Amino acid sequence: MRHSLPLAPQFYVTAPQPCPYLDGKVERKLFTALQGDHAVVLNDALSHQGFRRSQNVLYRPSCAECAACLSARIRVADFKPRRSHKRVLRKNKYLKREATSPWATEVQFELFRTYLAARHATGGMADMDVFEFASMVEETPVRSRVVEYHDTVSTDLSAVCLTDVLEDGLSMVYSFFNPELEKSSLGTYMILDHIEIAREAGLPYVYLGYWVPGSPKMSYKAKFNALEIYHGGEWQTLDAPDDFKADVPAHGNVPIPEQVAAISLPDLLNRK
C-alpha cells in the first residue's frame, strides 16, 4: 500500500514475512525511495528518526504487533572503551584501515560470500550474486565510503564496512569479515574504529543499525556504553539493556497513516 503526505516523499509498506531476528514473529517495513537532488537531506532527516538506508531506499520496521527493532547509535564524546574493548583493539592492531569510494571488487565479494556461508547461510542475502553485491555497494545517492581492513603482514582483506557519512555521524550500513577470524571480534573492532573515525572528524554519533532485545545476533550492540535508542519518537539513553522492554499497545502499533503523518520531513521544495 502507498501512503503519502502532500508534496512529500511517498511511503510504502512491505508485505509481512518471517522475522529474521525473533522466532515466531512477523516483520513489516515502512519505506520510501531515496533519489534525486535532495537525497542527502532526506537521508539525514530520516536517519535521525530511526530509518536506515539500503541502496536507494530508506526503511524503518513497522511491524503490526511488535516493536522490538530499535535504531541504535553511540555518543562518540561520551564513549569509554571497556576492558573487553581494549583487548579487541590490541588483538587487531595489525590491521590497516583504508577508506575508498563505494566501488565493489571481486575480493570483497569473495569475503562477503564466505561470511554469509558461515554466519547467515539461510538469511535473505544468502543468494546474492556478484551483480547484486555490486548494486548494494555502489548504488548510493548519498556520501558513502567503503572501509576496508587489511592484514599488514599478509595484505589479505580481513573485514569491510559500507559506511554513510551523515551530517551528524557515521552510519554503518553493512559490515562483514573473515569468519575464520571470529576470535578477533572483528565486528566489535569495526565499531570501535568507526568511533575513532567519527571522533577525528568531529562527528557526534556512530549509527549501528537496529538493536533487537532478545536476539542473540544483536546482543553485541548493547555492550557499548553511551548507547542511545530511538524509542517513542525520540532518542533515549539506554542505561540497562537487560531490563529494557519495548511495550506494544494491546491493539497493536500505531496505524501506518498515523506513523507517516508523524514523520518530520525537511523542506525539500525550498532547497536548491
Q: What is the pLDDT of residues 39-87, one digit of tens each?
A: 999 999 999 999 999 999 999 999 888 888 999 999 999 999 999 999 9
Averaged confidence pLDDT in the chain = 90
Give the Cα separation of 132 and 116 in Å (integer). 14
**pLDDT given for residue 247 in this prediction:** 67
Helices (H), the chain: 39-47, 83-91, 106-119, 130-138, 186-201, 256-261
Domains of the chain from N-terminus onward: 2-68+249-261 (no CATH), 73-243 (3.40.630)
Nearest to 32 by CA among 62, 68, 71, 3: 3
Does 207 score more than 80 pLDDT?
Answer: yes
With a threshold of 0.75, does the pTM exceed it? Answer: yes
Separation in Å, CA 154 to CA 63, 158, 189, 271 = 45, 10, 19, 49
- In the numeric block, the cell 589479505 is attached to 156
Q: Are 138 and 103 in contact (CB under 8 A)?
A: yes
For residue 186, the SS3 value is helix
pLDDT tier, 219 (very low <50, low <70, confident <90, very high otherwise): confident
Separation in Å, CA 26 to CA 15, 75, 78, 168, 220 = 10, 31, 36, 32, 23
The backbone region for 169, taken as left when phi is positive above 0, alpha when psi lies in -120 to 50, beta otherwise, is left
User: Which cell is 233 given?
Assistant: 519518537
